[in-house]
């Protein structure tokens, strides 16, 4: 077989084949829960319709060796971020509201202040991290190398839907062989993806460690969530495979239903549909990662109330802070990785220098905007065409790219610079294409109703981002258990800087290993 060329992907299809493939893919998605709620001014309490999630018709090519490297690195990352979350001094220095990012970023500062008050009251119990490490291929070398985009410690989404889109692509392979359009489209090149089971395994491990019969897992969710099915599949997996019940609540719900026993720190939920209060073993946050989740001081106080409970948090506030972009940048500094991965305590497991070097090799060059007075800003102004600026935010749509950087930097005063980092842009392979399918919007639906053919599939030059999932259960200075549990791929048009599916930039995808 000749060497793989990214510029030759995807294989060519006739118009009839493309239409048939779109029908097969969308039908499979609707039949197998690869779903979103449709856009609405306000989501109804009981949804009556759904649309398929945005998806790619072909899996995206990815070098087998680099995929396996990303899986291997996940175990190191699981331990690294667990240890960061347990290092109060480090987080105080980097993210704190005295000298760290929290001094100039109100959201980070509020979280840090609440955490400091809570930790002064009692020891931190076990914590759970459901993680996702995101990567792009960097094409400045031949073959390309693996480079990390970011590491996610809160609300790492699309695990269950990525499981299903991998199943979709495997189904097409078995159903029609993708019309024999490429020798690379073979079963042995489609890696298994069991992310749903893997993430549920992490939540189940936390629930079992809490060890109170009859307790439940609490999902803290955002109101009007369109990506609800990605969460529901985890709920179903927990009940059907582990006999663990889930309670879903928004922060506004919890303001009415949550209470904590001041002596035992037991968190209970009491709703109109529950005959008796239910004790909570584990709190899984699919909300509280953005300032809009905290409209007033009462919302922050509620978050700190949850943190005070003896329920295992996923994530805890320190683990959420550990996912800050400033932490990612500080880790690049000499000696910081060794602090966490080769600790002086002989009873704590260490990683080899080879492991540490491999981890460092997956990073792009980063620096803080507060570097040496004006030096950080001057470097960013000089090199802005090859940079992205990142704040301490999750959820997509927050970064500043290339030509937008100079005018943006002029709006920052010296104190605000500490909240931003600069990262050299990863350069993905040129010429890679894909067929991207989104559910018809209101205008397309109107045209279809009137008998016109609405375009649902778009051929575009694309960039594909790989995410590797993992989890760690840890606390009181020790990582009890960690696992690498699956992956996702998000593919976007090459002209789009951002990569979020929920924010409308990307489609869900899977892999063909080359």
Annotated catalytic residue within 313, 325, 326, 438: 325
* Catalytic residue (one of 147, 390, 417, 438): 390
Q: What is the DSSP letter of 111?
A: H
Give the active site residue among 83, 150, 216, 464. Answer: 150
CA distance readout (Å), 119 to 124, 311, 324, 380: 7, 14, 19, 37
Q: Is 245 annotated in the active site?
A: no
Q: Catalytic: 390?
A: yes
- Catalytic residue among 237, 279, 307, 394, which? 394
Instruction: From the candidates 116, 132, 147, 313, give the one annotated as an active-site residue.
Output: 132
Q: Give the Cα-Cα-Cα angle 337, 286, 367 (nearest 5 degrees).
A: 30
Give yes or no: 394 in active site. Answer: yes
Known binding residues for Mg(2+) are 150, 152, 394
- One DSSP character per residue, 443-470 reads HHHHHHHTT-----EEEEEEEEEEEEEE
Residues whose CB is less than 8 angstroms from the CB of residue 83 and which lie 6 or more positions away in sequence, other chains included: 340, 341, 343, 474, 479
Catalytic annotation on 451?
A: no
Active-site residue among 490, 499, 500, 510? 490
Q: Is 225 exposed, middle or buried (0-12, 13-18, 19+ CB in 10 A)?
A: middle
Please identify which of the residues 167, 395, 493, 504 carries the catalytic annotation. Answer: 395
Contact (Cβ atoms closer than 8 angstroms) between residue 183 and residue 2 = no
**Catalytic-role residue among 56, 157, 216, 464:** 157
506 tagged catalytic: no
Q: Which of 78, 145, 152, 362 is catalytic?
A: 152
Rounded to whole angstroms, how far apart are CA atoms 83 and 349? 11
316 is catalytic: no
Mark 462-486 as b/e (b = at least 16 C-beta within 10 Å): bbbbbbbbbbbbbbeeebbebbbbb
Instruction: Determine the Cα–Cα distance for residues 196 and 485; give it in Å rounded to an integer.
Output: 9
132 part of the active site = yes
The pair phi, psi for residue 26, each rounded to 5°, is -70, -35
Whether 301 sits among the annotated catalytic residues: the reply is no
Annotated binding site: 132, 150, 152, 154-157, 225-227, 231, 286-289, 325, 390-399, 401, 423-426, 465, 490, 492, 498, 501-502
Residue 290 DSSP SS3: coil
The rounded distance, in Å, linking the Cα atoms of 30 and 165 is: 11
Give the β-pairing of 246-249 and 60-62: unpaired
Q: What residue ranges in 12-64 does DSSP mark as E strands?
A: 35-36, 51-52, 55-56, 60-62
- What residues form the annotated binding site for substrate? 132, 154-157, 225-227, 231, 286-289, 490, 501-502
Residue (of 355, 270, 429) closest to 74 by Cα position: 355
Catalytic residue status for 240: no
**Active-site residues: which are they?**
132, 150, 152, 157, 325, 390, 394-395, 490
């Amino acid at each position: 077989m000749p060497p793989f060329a990214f510029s030759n992907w995807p294989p060519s299809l006739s118009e009839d084949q493309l239409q048939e493939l779109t029908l097969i893919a969308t039908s499979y998605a609707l039949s197998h829960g690869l779903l979103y709620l449709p856009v609405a001014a306000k989501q109804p309490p009981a949804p009556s319709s759904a649309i398929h999630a945005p998806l790619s018709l072909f899996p995206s090519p990815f070098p087998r060796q680099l995929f396996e490297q990303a899986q291997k690195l996940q175990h190191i990352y699981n331990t690294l971020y667990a240890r960061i979350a347990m290092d109060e001094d480090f987080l105080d220095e980097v993210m704190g509201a005295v000298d760290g990012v929290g001094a100039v970023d109100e959201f980070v500062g509020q979280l840090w202040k609440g955490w400091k008050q809570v930790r002064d009251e009692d020891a931190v119990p076990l914590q759970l991290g459901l993680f996702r490490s995101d990567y792009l291929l960097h094409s400045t070398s031949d073959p390309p190398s693996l480079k990390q985009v970011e590491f996610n410690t809160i609300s790492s989404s699309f695990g269950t839907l990525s499981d299903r889109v991998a199943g979709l692509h495997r189904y097409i392979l078995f159903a029609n062989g993708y019309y024999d359009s490429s020798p690379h489209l073979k079963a042995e090149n489609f890696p298994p993806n069991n992310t749903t089971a893997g993430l549920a395994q992490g939540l189940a491990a936390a629930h079992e460690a809490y060890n109170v019969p009859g307790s439940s897992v609490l999902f803290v969710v955002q109101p009007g969530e369109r990506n609800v099915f990605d969460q529901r599949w985890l709920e179903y997996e927990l009940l059907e495979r582990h006999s663990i019940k889930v309670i879903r609540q928004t922060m506004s719900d919890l303001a009415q239903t949550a209470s904590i026993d001041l002596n035992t720190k037991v968190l209970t939920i009491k709703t109109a549909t529950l005959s008796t209060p239910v004790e909570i073993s584990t709190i899984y946050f699919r909300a509280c990662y953005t300032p809009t989740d905290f409209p007033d001081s009462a919302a922050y106080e509620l978050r700190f109330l949850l943190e005070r409970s003896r329920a295992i948090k996923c994530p805890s506030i320190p683990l959420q802070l550990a996912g800050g972009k400033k932490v990612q940048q500080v880790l690049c500094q000499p000696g910081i990785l060794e602090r966490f991965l080769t600790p002086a305590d002989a009873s704590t497991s260490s990683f080899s220098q080879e492991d540490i070097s491999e981890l460092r090799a997956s990073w792009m060059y980063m620096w803080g905007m507060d570097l040496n007075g004006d030096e950080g800003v001057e470097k960013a102004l000089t090199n802005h065409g090859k940079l992205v600026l990142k704040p301490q935010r999750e959820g997509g749509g927050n970064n500043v790219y290339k030509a937008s950087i100079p005018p943006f930097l002029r709006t920052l005063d010296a104190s605000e610079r500490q909240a931003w980092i600069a990262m050299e842009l990863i350069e993905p392979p040129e010429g890679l294409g894909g067929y991207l399918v989104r559910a018809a919007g209101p205008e397309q639906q109107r045209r279809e109703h009137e008998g016109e053919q609405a375009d649902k599939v778009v051929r575009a030059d694309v960039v594909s981002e790989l995410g590797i999932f993992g989890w760690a259960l840890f606390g009181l200075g020790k990582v009890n258990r960690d696992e690498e549990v699956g992956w996702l791929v998000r593919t976007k048009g090459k002209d789009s800087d951002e990569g979020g599916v929920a924010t409308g930039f990307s489609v869900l995808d899977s892999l063909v290993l080359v």
